[in-house]
Amino acid sequence: MSEIDVPESHPRYQSLLTRHRIEEGVDKGITSRQGLIAEGRGEAFDYLLGEETLPSADEAARAAAALLHLAERPVLSVNGNVAALVPGEMIDLAAAVDAAIEVNLFNRTDERMRTIAAHLRDHGAEEAGVPIKGLTADARLPGLDHERSKVDAGGIGSADVVLVPLEDGDRAEALSVMGKSEIVIDLNPLSRSAKTAAVPIVDNILRAVPNITEHAQELESAATDDLEAIVRSFDPEAALDAAEGTIRSGDLE
C-alpha cells in the first residue's frame, strides 16, 4: 500500500492514484476545480490508448528531449494539474535540461500562484538549482484576454522552447504564433493544443515527463548535429495520426 489505500496490484491502481493526487491538489489549493474535469477527460483518453506509452509517444519524448537540449532559453510551464501530479518529476526534467519552471495558470489567482511555487520548493526546486518564474507576470501573450494572457517576461515571454503540458488550446496557439517551439503533453490527439505543437506527446503526463528526462540524460553529451537530426526527423502529424489510429482501431494489447 502507498499514498492511497489500494494495493498496487489493483488493475486501476494508477488511475486511482492520479485521481487521489488531483483531489488532494484541490484540497491544498494547488489545483482548481476545473482541473478535476480536465483529469476526467485525460483518463478517458488514457483508457482508449491502453494506458501505456505508444512507440510514437516515446519517439516524441525523445524529440522533445533533443529540442530542450538545443534550446537557449527552455521553460517548462506548470499549472495546477501538473503541480499536483508530477512536481518532483518536473524539477528533475528542468535540472536535466537546464530549464526554468514557470507557474502559469489558466485560472490565475495570486494565492494559487504562491501555493504552487511553495509546493515546488517543497519538492526541492532550490536544491536542484531550478528557478521558479511566473510570480511576476509582466508580459502578455497576443490575442488573449487580460488574465489568460499573462506570462513572465523573464520566463515564457523570452523562452525559445516551451513545454506546456495539459495546456488550453487558445494559449497553445498564442505561444506558437509568437514563434516559440512548443512541446505539448496531452492525451487527446484531437485537442487543439496537441495540433499546434511542434512536438505533441500523446501520453499521460505521469509517464511522459520521466520518459523525457530519461531521454535527456541519455542524450546529454550528444552532438548538436545529432540532436538536430532527431528533431528534424520527427513528424508531429504522424505522431498524432498514430495515436488517433490506435484509438479508432481499438487495437490494444
Residue 213 makes contact with Mg ion by CB under 5 A: no
Residue 191 makes contact with Mg ion by CB under 5 A: yes
Residue 30 interface partner, choices ligand ATP, Mg ion, none, CB cut-off 5-8 Å depending on type: none
Closest approach, Cβ 192 to Mg ion, in A, equals: 6
Closest approach, Cβ 58 to ligand ATP, in A, equals: 15
What does the alpha-carbon distance between residue 127 and residue 16 come to, in Å, rounded to a whole number?
31
Residue 186 makes contact with ligand ATP by CB under 6 A: yes
Residue 115 makes contact with ligand ATP by CB under 6 A: no
Closest approach, Cβ 17 to ligand ATP, in A, equals: 11
Please report which helix (H) or strand (E) contains residue 102, including its range.
strand 100-103
Long-range CB contacts (within 8 A, 24+) of 114-122: 115/28, 115/29, 115/30, 116/30, 116/78, 116/80, 116/83, 119/28, 119/30, 119/83, 119/87, 120/78, 120/83, 120/87, 120/90, 120/91, 122/87
Comparing CA positions, the residue from 85, 154, 144, 138 lying closest to residue 116 is 85
Closest approach, Cβ 91 to ligand ATP, in A, equals: 18
Applying the rule CB under 6 A, the residues between 207 and 246 that interact with ligand ATP are: none
Residue 193 makes contact with Mg ion by CB under 5 A: yes
**Which set of grid coordinates corresponds to residue 225?**
548535429
Residue 187 makes contact with ligand ATP by CB under 6 A: yes
Which position among 20, 108, 121, 192 is part of the footprint of ligand ATP (CB under 6 A)? 192
Q: Which stretch binds ligand ATP (CB under 6 A): 137-145, 189-197, 229-237, 238-246?
A: 189-197
Please report which helix (H) or strand (E) contains residue 76, including its range.
strand 74-78
Residue 64 interface partner, choices Mg ion, ligand ATP, none, CB cut-off 5-8 Å depending on type: none
What does the alpha-carbon distance between residue 213 and residue 15 come to, in Å, rounded to a whole number?
22
Q: Please, where are the H alpha helices in the chain?
A: 13-27, 34-48, 55-70, 80-85, 87-97, 110-122, 169-177, 192-196, 205-218, 224-233, 236-249
Query: 157 vs 200, which CB is nearer to Mg ion?
Result: 200
Which position among 32, 104, 191, 211 is part of the footprint of ligand ATP (CB under 6 A)? 191
Closest approach, Cβ 129 to ligand ATP, in A, equals: 27
Which residues, 6+ apart, have CB-to-CB distance to 239 below 8 Å? 56, 57, 59, 60, 200, 201, 202
Q: Residues at the annotated binding site? A: 19, 41, 186-188, 192-193, 204-205
| List of residues contacting ligand ATP (CB under 6 A) | 38-39, 41-42, 45, 85, 166, 168-169, 185-188, 191-193, 204-205
Q: Residues at the annotated binding site for ATP? A: 19, 41, 186-188, 192-193, 204-205
